[in-house]
Amino acid sequence: MPEDTSDPSSRGPIDTEILDRIAAHLARSDRFDDIETQPPYAPNAVIANYDLGYFPGGVTRAYLRIRWFETDDFSIHYSEQYQTGNSWECRWGRHPNDHNTRDHFHPPPDAPTPGEDADYPNEWRDVLSTVLTRLDNRIKAFWDE
């Protein structure tokens, strides 16, 4: 999985209160089978596993990994994993870095660095809405083809 290469200490501490709010918000959506808040393998994140019923056969896992910092920096990573061993990845980010502006998007299919400069809303709910709308469109496209 591609990962941010900038110094994490420049983003400040993890905002566990916002992560808890994000987890509660996502838990109200039928999109997700399971929401994990700060699991042992990702103690600084919320992991939201999609209900695979939304995807065609061949997709073995689809998830969001969300990190939010007290500085309002964030990283939202989306991954689809396939039976073939391939994956489809993208990331939304707001953090100081040496590859893009503070707000940026690492596009699919492999979330390369550098990404594309972007502008995101200030409020976490609006950022999450932006991300989920894009992913809903991606999922809908599976069934429109």
114-136 residue pLDDT tens: 999 999 999 999 999 999 999 99
Task: Report in angstroms the alpha-carbon separations of 23 from 18, 45, 113.
Answer: 9, 10, 27
Q: Does residue 112 lie in a domain region?
A: yes
For residue 24, how far is the Cα from the chain centroid? 16
Q: Does residue 99 lie in a domain region?
A: yes
Give per-residue burial for 116-145: e unless 16+ CB within 10 Å, then b. eebebeeebeebbeebbeebeebbeeeeee
Q: Does residue 87 lie in a domain region?
A: yes
Whether this prediction's pTM lies above 0.75 is answered by: yes
Domain, as residue range, for 59: 11-140
Indicate the number of domains in the chain.
1
Res 11 pLDDT > 90 = no
Q: Does residue 4 lie in a domain region?
A: no
User: What's residue 3's pLDDT?
Assistant: 47
Q: Does residue 145 lie in a domain region?
A: no
Residues 6+ apart with CB under 8 A from 99: 5, 6, 113, 114, 115
Q: Does residue 1 lie in a domain region?
A: no
